Structure 1
Amino acid sequence: MALTPKNQLTRQDKRAQQDNAQQEALMREVDDAVRQGDAEEFLSKWGKPLFALLIVGLLAFGGYLFWQSRQEAAMERNSEALVAALDQVQAGNVDSAYDRLEELAASDKSGAGVAAAMMRAGIAQQRGDAAEASTIFKSVAANDKAPPAMRELARLRDVTLNYDKMTSADIVATLKPLATPGNAFFASAGELVAHAYLDQGKRAEAGALFAQIAKDENSPESARSRARQMAGVLGVDAIEDVDALLEAQGIGRDNPEGAGPSVETE
């Protein structure tokens, strides 16, 4: 059987490779033309809306940056106003501090403005103007934009200021939501509510609330001590660990009068 010369096979392979390369190049040109046509058609149809959307996005981003810079500048001004007012208070110029805080308290209903309002209320109370202080406290307590903790503090301060003028029922209704364990003002609000309960003749409720305050480790020790005493007077045991209490007060079981540590003699 005759064999094809090796050099003839090589020429045929090269020719086939050239034909394949030409076909691939032609297909690429056709594909590029189709893609270019699709792109031109897409840009013709959607180019202007996309460009407008891009412009709107850039304007919105620029507006956000401008707003953010204004907010930061306003926060800086508010902080400076608060610091200046505090300096005036420390220097004894409470009237000047009160006037300095008026604009900030009126213009900003959250954050620094609420702090300024609370400072003005404190200054008014210090000057003996209880009516003005109460008005400001009530305004902060009713301000939906104020931080919840500040609203609760304003409510507590207002009740403390007007306690003798309020009925026991109003005191309980106003402060009972705050007089719960876990609330930041539990001890202070709880004491006022417990005393209101006593005014209503509800000794059991008052004793239970005093006991809760006495056992609350997050409450100030002074408030816990008062509550412990009141609970004892009302016949409620508010001491969970007698040894721990005696140790905290510097009293040992062998030295009940607190005259110092007991000394053993040979």
Structure 2
Amino acid sequence: MADIFHEIDEDLRRERFRRLWSRYGIYLIALAVLIVVGVAGWRGYEWWKLQQDQAAGARFEAALQLAAQGKTAEAEAAFAEIAKDAPRGYRTLARFRAATELAATDPKAAIAAYDALATDASIGPLMQDAASVRAGLLMVDTAPLAEIEQRMKPLDTPEGAFRFSAREIIGLAQYKAGDFKAAADSFTSILNDGQTPPGLRQRAELLRTLASAQAPAAPAAAASEAAPATAAPAVQ
């Protein structure tokens, strides 16, 4: 009897499955096809993106070789082309390198290129700040102190990634402007920061010494107006 009941259960299950399949089978097949097509499409996109990245990397390496060979104009043009149509990461790097090459021949244009990067929110705050620092370095020898301070002060925050560079640029501008005491104070603030990189710390120590040597000497303490009173003779 148990075998008969088992066969009946199997028949009922098969019949239930047949009815479910006849109703929903086409949807299950369509879903399976969509999954296969989706996976294939994603793999195809990954392959295409890899090809694009490799091609952009080869172009970027070739531009770097031109720069290393001193072919500034050719390197600048190559980086500019990469910045137009390469994947986003390489576009940003190429824009920085194009500005770097431009600085050798046209500092004002290079500053404008860095300023464009500094105001481009799509590259992220860290890269924007890096562009501001690069522009500030180019401006130290030509821009007024007030403009340098206006540009660099926003980067000088307790947790700012570029606070050390911002302080150094401000200190250099103060030194050039002849405000040696303010320059010494700026370099001292670099030395007082425990997270200052070793190389920058060495430069700040040297620059502080130079600025302090040219700062006005502090006024000497006023001499005592009255001489010490003589001791009274001892009573006999």
Please give the TM-score of this superposition, normalised by the length of structure 1: 0.66
In structure 2, stretches of 5+ residues that fail to align are: 218-236
2:58 to 80, 91, 97: 80
1:158 to 107, 111, 135: 135
Aligned residues: 208
Helix, strand or coil for the counterpart of 2:154? coil
CA contact (8 A) 1:125 1:133 kept: yes
Residues in 1 aligned to 2:23 and 2:150: alpha-carbon distance in whole angstroms: 66
Q: How does 1:62-77 map to 2 (within 5 A)?
A: 62-77=40-55
CA shift in 2, pair 1:119/1:68, >3 Å: same
CA shift in 2, pair 1:209/1:33, >3 Å: farther
Q: Percent identity over the alignment? A: 22
Return the offset for 1:194: 4.9
Residues in 2 aligned to 1:190 and 1:95: alpha-carbon distance in whole angstroms: 33
Q: Say if 2:201 is the partner of 1:224.
A: no
1:178 to 155, 161, 179: 155
1:149 to 111, 115, 126: 126
CA contact (8 A) 1:82 1:116 kept: yes
Helix, strand or coil for the counterpart of 1:218? coil
Helix, strand or coil for the counterpart of 2:88? coil
CA contact (8 A) 2:190 2:196 kept: no
**RMSD over aligned Cα atoms:** 3.0
- Tell me: higher relative CO, structure 1 or 2? Use CA pairs within 8 A at least 6 residues apart: 2
Instruction: Please give the per-residue CA displacement for 1:61-106, whole angstroms capped at 9, x wherever unaligned.
Output: 1111111111111111111111111111111211111122222112
Residues in 2 aligned to 1:149 and 1:177: alpha-carbon distance in whole angstroms: 13
Moved over 4 A (4+): 194-199, 206-209, 230-235
The answer for the alignment partner of 2:221 in structure 1 is: none
CA shift in 2, pair 1:53/1:191, >3 Å: same
Residues in 2 aligned to 1:77 and 1:37: alpha-carbon distance in whole angstroms: 58
Bigger Rg, structure 1 or 2: 1
Q: How does 1:22-101 map to 2 (within 5 A)?
A: 23-101=1-79
Helix, strand or coil for the counterpart of 2:157? coil
Q: Say if 2:85 is the partner of 1:115.
A: no
Residues in 2 aligned to 1:109 and 1:50: alpha-carbon distance in whole angstroms: 38
